[in-house]
């Protein structure tokens, strides 16, 4: 039986760790929050008193942290860097969404230490984490990917190999930028239709069956009442927060800058989500951007 050290037991990490236990792994879990640790214990994780305790002797280390600076500190620059703790040959799977550059440079440092570090950001939200249906978008060598796959399959449904180190972060940034664009675009098409007297259900159906078809129309309609069980029909509670979309768009813009890739549509979407956030809506689901229009 493989031992997994799991660092970061938040809304996403907690249920992911629980799914690993269910799949038969021995999971040593750590988080700074006592509550999170208690929940991990309830899910039959072995509770560790520190990140390094969780990582020690683990075959696989998984991290699920808010941002790049936390990941860098955990493995490289912190007081007890896990790179000094992890055993030779350990596989580190970082599921955080961070800068592609940072993922690449941490991976390069890992190789010097005889450790494997791969980027595997997720999509699918809290619901997907609980149901074990997340998507993982992996940046790794072919061999590393094959090694990580069974572990990831215990937590998710679609395991994509995007390319070499950093490619997982790049693909996620591209996808989420596109998501921001099509959500904002769908909001404004629906708003224009409604302002001209159309029924949003009818218009949504027409566009879904035509060339305007996209993920938002399929499973995440931003107009309250068009679909059940989506944030728009629940006052934009739950779902994917504007603040998180804003963070992800920031990563996309950094990628755009560092590679000189023009992103006029992504920038326009970012401007709208930023205005919406400035009006005090950072904690709402991102489909609430339709309120900016009306």
Footprint (CB under 8 A) of a second copy, residues 236-275: 246, 250, 252-257, 259-272, 274-275
Choice between 35 and 215, CB closer to a second copy: 215
At its nearest, how many Å lie between a second copy and the CB of residue 65?
19
In terms of DSSP bridges, do strands 91-94 and 60-63 run parallel, antiparallel, or are they unpaired? parallel
* Contacts (CB under 8 A) with a second copy, residues 110-129: 123
The 73-102 contact track toward a second copy, x by CB under 8 A, reads: ---------------------------x--
How many chain residues touch a second copy (CB under 8 A)?
Answer: 80
Choice between 109 and 174, CB closer to a second copy: 174
Which residue in the set 108, 199, 225, 283 belongs to the binding site for a second copy (CB under 8 A)?
A: 199
- Which residue numbers are catalytic? 172
Choice between 85 and 184, CB closer to a second copy: 184
Q: Say if residues 119 and 166 touch (Cβ distance below 8 Å).
A: yes
d(CA 59, CA 65): 20
Span from 46-54, 61-69, 186-194, 225-233 in contact with a second copy (CB under 8 A): 186-194
Per CB under 8 A, does 231 bind a second copy?
A: no
Alpha helix stretches (DSSP H) within 13-141? 13-22, 34-42, 51-55, 68-72, 100-112, 125-131
Give the CA distances from residue 157 to residues 148, 149, 169, in Å, rounded to whole numbers and listed in that order: 14, 11, 18
CA dihedral 189, 192, 196, 198 (to 10 degrees): 30
Per CB under 8 A, does 198 bind a second copy?
A: yes
At its nearest, how many Å lie between a second copy and the CB of residue 179?
4
CB-neighbour burial class of residue 210 (10 A; exposed 0-12, middle 13-18, buried 19+): exposed
Which residue in the set 90, 106, 179, 244 belongs to the binding site for a second copy (CB under 8 A)?
A: 179
* The token pair that represents 146 in the structure block: 């094959």
Per CB under 8 A, does 185 bind a second copy?
A: yes
Degrees (nearest 5) of the Cα angle 86, 94, 4?
Answer: 50
Per CB under 8 A, does 51 bind a second copy?
A: no
Residue 261 dihedral angles phi and psi, to the nearest 5°:
-95, 120
């Amino acid at each position: 039986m493989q031992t997994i050290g799991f660092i970061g037991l938040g809304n996403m990490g907690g249920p992911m760790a629980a799914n690993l236990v269910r799949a038969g792994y021995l999971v040593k879990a750590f988080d700074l929050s006592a509550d999170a640790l208690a929940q991990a214990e309830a899910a039959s994780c072995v509770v560790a008193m520190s990140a390094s305790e969780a990582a020690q002797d683990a075959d696989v280390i998984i991290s699920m942290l808010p941002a790049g600076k936390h990941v860098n500190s955990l493995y490289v620059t912190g007081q007890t860097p896990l790179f000094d703790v992890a055993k030779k040959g350990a596989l580190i799977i970082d599921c955080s969404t961070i800068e592609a550059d940072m993922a690449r440079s941490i991976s390069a440092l890992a190789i010097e230490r005889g450790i494997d570090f791969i980027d595997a950001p997720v999509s699918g939200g809290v619901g997907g984490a609980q149901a074990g249906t997340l998507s993982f978008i992996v940046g790794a060598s072919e061999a590393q990917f094959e090694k990580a796959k069974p572990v990831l399959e215990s937590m998710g449904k679609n395991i994509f190999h995007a390319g070499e180190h950093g490619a997982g972060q790049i693909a996620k940034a591209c996808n989420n930028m596109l998501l921001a664009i099509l959500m904002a675009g769908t909001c404004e098409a629906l708003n224009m239709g409604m302002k001209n007297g159309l029924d949003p259900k009818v218009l949504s159906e027409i566009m879904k069956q035509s060339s305007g078809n996209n993920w938002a129309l399929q499973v995440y309609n931003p107009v309250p009442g068009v679909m059940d069980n989506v944030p728009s029909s629940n006052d934009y509670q739950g779902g994917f927060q504007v603040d998180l979309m804003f963070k992800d768009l920031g990563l996309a813009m950094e990628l755009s800058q560092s590679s000189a890739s023009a992103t006029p549509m992504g920038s326009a979407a970012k401007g709208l989500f930023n205005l919406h956030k400035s009006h005090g809506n950072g904690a709402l689901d991102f489909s609430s951007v339709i309120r900016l229009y009306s």
